Amino acid sequence: MALLWERRVEGRLYQVRSAGRTRRLYTNGVFHSQYNPVRPVTGSVWDLLLLPAFFYAPGELRRVLVLGVGGGAVIRQLCRFIRPEAIVGVELNAVHLSIARRFFGVGGAGVVLEQADAVDWVRRYRGPGFDMIVDDLFGDYAGEPQRAVFADADWVGSLSRCLNPGGVIVSNFTSPLELEVSAFLGDAACRRRFRSAFSLATSRNYNAVGVFLDKPADTRELRERLKRIPLLDPRKSRGVRYHIRTLAL
């Protein structure tokens, strides 16, 4: 991919690379975001962060909170396919927010980007609840992506307090093992907060995305709704590709 933009800020190297209309964000060599407005299915983990929205009927998810914006790929996907009334993106890194606006086209009606420590923001938040919360807080260590916040009982509780009844928390983990040992599954009190849970994966990543819903849900609903959208239909050659597994609560 061609180097479109590069800058070193406080010892961290930021790069935006392009191939046609595809944009990729790299920070210290770690791949943080990819989006193409013509082909919004990335084939990677950002698709998994979007998919849980389709456990809900159109119009049910009105308010979405995205923790960890990066280049904003999942925000672009949500705007494209879900069109919630409000999306709040919280990101610590000011350079990432600038890149999201300038190179990934993140913005528009209903989209608010805030520069803040997401942990502090969530714990202090006292506003209206959210129907969907995407927990995608990642940094890097030794050239590899690493979760920035350990998903312990305190964190799960903080997220749950921001969630509307019947809502969903979507949490990205570096591996299935990291998901399994998180408080979402390892703490009995946290498990009781939810009524359905799933794990999402793709063949292109080792990540495991946990999906925790405050309502009964099954995979049939998800499949049927995806089939109605040509750009996402898994039966199509360019549709979304994913593996899903039901988790015991």
Distances (CA, A) of 26 to 19, 37, 68, 96, 144: 14, 19, 14, 10, 11
Q: What is the pLDDT along the chain (249 residues), one digit of tens a residue?
A: 899 999 999 999 999 999 999 999 999 999 999 999 999 999 999 999 999 999 999 999 999 999 999 999 999 999 999 999 999 999 999 999 999 999 999 999 999 999 999 999 999 999 999 999 999 999 877 778 889 999 999 999 999 999 999 999 999 999 999 999 999 999 999 999 999 999 999 998 899 999 999 999 999 999 999 999 999 999 998 899 999 999 999
Q: Which of 232, 236, 243 is nearest to 50 (CA)?
A: 232
167 backbone dihedrals φ, ψ, rounded to 5°: -85, -175
**What per-residue confidence (pLDDT) applies to 15?**
97
**What per-residue confidence (pLDDT) applies to 143?**
77
**What per-residue confidence (pLDDT) applies to 145?**
85
Q: For residue 193, with 0-12 CB atoms within 10 Å meaning exposed, 13-18 middle and 19 or more buried, which class applies?
A: middle
Domain boundaries, the chain: 40-246
Task: End-to-end CA distance of the chain: give it in Å, rounded.
Answer: 43
User: Under CATH, what is the fold of the domain 40-246?
Assistant: Rossmann fold (3.40.50)
pLDDT digit string (tens) for 87-103? 999 999 999 999 999 99
Measured CA to CA, the distance from residue 104 to residue 114 in angstroms comes to: 16
